[in-house]
Chains A and B, each alone.
Chain A
Amino acid sequence: MQLTVKGNPVFVHTGGREIDPARPAVVLIHGAGMDHSVWSLQSRYLAHHGRSVLAVDLPGHGRSGGEPLGSIAAIADWVVALLDAAGLERAALIGHSMGALVALEAAARHAGRVEAVALLGVAERMPVHPDLLAAAHAGESSAIEMVIGWGHGPRGHGGAQGGGCPTPGLALIPGGRRLMASVRPGVLGVDLAACNDYGQGADAAAAVACPALFLLGALDRMTPAKAGRSLAARVKTSQVVVLPQTGHMVMTEAPDAVLDALTSFLSLRRG
């Protein structure tokens, strides 16, 4: 579905069902240098379990126009503008990595518009190593290699104990690599800088009034589960699910466990 937000065309994947204002809405917010397709299973599941789904391509990403926004706060405000454009008063926000910071900040800044937040692969701070930032700004493929390499746990990397993508026949690391390679030049650098510069995680967490679910990978090397737990402790009403054998790419590495947790958290029922 195409929307116009702040004058720019925005693409929203609705999970195979049209948005219905009578159904509670959920916005799925992807991470740095990615797009809506990281939520391919979750978006369909939510749309067929009573929710209006907006798996969005953030500005400058995927099929959306415009330029990438340079800060977590700006993207958080933009998500609320997206709700306005879709004619939605409130929505649950589900975000991954950079998208999780966006959901957290939006819940703090716009409490009346956010029903609940589910934060995947998140930490109060997401400092980005200068080498990675420089490579991303320069458009070097090594930036993608670092994000994909550090971002995946054993289901992506394989090895004697851990191989095996949950979706039959797919390979997570080449899939992630191709997705990030399709993103426009310069976008990854802007996204990573936004993550690196964000310093309001603790304050935002303290201001969150809605229920919050933290979905953390036990083997996450980018936002370690310990850091996610400590952020969750700052939120008034939070629950934490730590997924074993899972890295930072929580929704693609452990889609079933993510859906199980979301089903309980959002009281989902088929329909």
Chain B
Amino acid sequence: MAGAKFLKFDTQSLHAGQKPDPATGARAVPIHLTSSYVFSDVDQAAALFNLERPGHIYSRISNPTVAVLEERLATLEGGVGAVCTASGQAALTLAIMTLMGAGGHIVASSSIYGGSRNLLAYTLPRFGITTTFVHPRDLDGIRAAIRPETRLVFGEVLGNPGLEVLDVAKVAAIAHEAGVPLLIDSTFTTPYLCRPFEHGADLVMHSCTKWLSGHGTAIGGVVIDGGRFDWEASGSFPTLTKPYAGYHGIDFAEEFGPAAFIARARAEGLRDFGACMSPMNAFQILQGVETLPLRMKCHIHNARKIVCFLEGELTAETGAVAWVSYPELVDHPDHALASRLLPHGAGSIISFGIRPGAQGSGREAGRRFIESLTLFSHLANVGDAKSLVIHPASTTHAQLDAEALAAAGVGEDMIRLSIGLEDCDDLIDDLKQALRAATKG
């Protein structure tokens, strides 16, 4: 018997979730800029509202353009379904709010995006949800931090900005021993480099603003349900296993089986909190996803060449580079893990430290370096087609005190590069001249 055939990743990047528009034949995904949808009759309206028929009611809850992106991203990750949100932060918030209420507890990697850290450390405690941060390499610490009220373990495949690699399979096993799901922020790796569900994760989120888009024009996020976590067996998630008065006593696990989480996230989280994605943004992000495989190949190619250049500067006697961090380097603490988890490449973020100049500090050298760059853009984003640079200690992680900065692996001399798709020789020329400018007396 012939084995079953499924379309491959590159093909799904272009086609998943879409067919030519039945009304016009349009090949591109139409932008459905409409708030609402005409019901065919009263019974159809009632059936839509009661989750008896599939379809769209109001674009805060679902929209045909956004639905294409949701299905495409779910397919690329291997998840049962997805909900797109107004931003990556909205995706994280939606996932948390779907799983727990006041009294809930999260165990999170200490090396995560500064905005996520702020949400967990300072904002959610106001709503009764607390977080214990643990270094992503401290597996025993993660296990020890899980309490009876823990409802989520959260981490990033590649730590931000320290580039620690999370052992997704081992952390998933630790979470599952305690009956808790693992949510992975996979923004830095995209499904092209890593599919966390294949390593045991239960939920995946992205900031779609980054590599999934590539063009830096649209803010958006997504949370994707792997469909494998047994909410019923865990017994700790009444939002998914007990009747919900908001939909006439619906029990999401009983009703939707593997899609329980994502069904509740949409039916409650999008409906009530309202952080939906705009159809225009979904369209723009879809344009990026279509070329994701091609762009990721080029991102990785360029990143590897620039790591080689920085390594050369590191070893040169007059070099301006104090250290370089990239998981493919053999001296990176997670090199072996990265080789297994990220065989197609360890992303396009590179961290390095600038050697202080003759009269300056690391921070001053960093300032001069960034201000001397002409091709890299100094801004608070990553994953653009254009190359980007930032000094995390004074920007994305500025709200952290010295101790938290150290725990997050952020030194004052750290520069974070997001390598884009320009000709690599041009990027290296720009880095060379800026390093010279930063370290001259």
A residues in contact (CB < 8 Å) with B = 13, 16, 35-38, 40-41, 43-45, 48, 63, 129-132, 142, 145-146, 148-150, 154, 157-171, 173-175, 178-179, 181-182, 255-256, 259, 270
Contact = CB atoms under 8 A, between A and B. Distances in A.
B12 A158 contact: yes
The residue in A48, A131, A157, A178 that gathers the most chain B C-beta atoms within 10 A of its C-beta is A178
B106 interface: no
Nearest to A43: B255
B148 interface: no
Interface in B248-288: 248-250, 254-259, 262, 266
Nearest to A268: B43
B252 to A, nearest CB: 10
Contacts of B62: 168-169
Contacts of B20: 160-161
B255 A163 contact: no
10 contacts: A45-B53, A164-B71, A170-B81, A171-B81, A173-B75, A178-B226, A182-B230, A255-B54, A259-B53, A270-B43
Contacts of B254: 13, 37
Contact of A166 (B43, B54, B256): B54
B78 interface: yes
B156 interface: no
A158 B7 contact: yes
B256 A40 contact: yes
A270 B254 CA distance: 23
B6 A157 contact: yes
B79 A171 contact: yes
A148 B4 contact: yes
Given A37-B257, A175-B80, A168 B54 contact: yes
A171 B74 contact: yes
Interface in B55-103: 55-56, 62-64, 66-68, 70-71, 74-75, 78-84
Contacts of B75: 158, 171, 173-174
Given A169-B82, A178-B80, A181-B228, A13 B12 contact: no
A36 B46 CA distance: 23
A270 B226 CA distance: 35
Contact of A163 (B43, B71, B256): B71
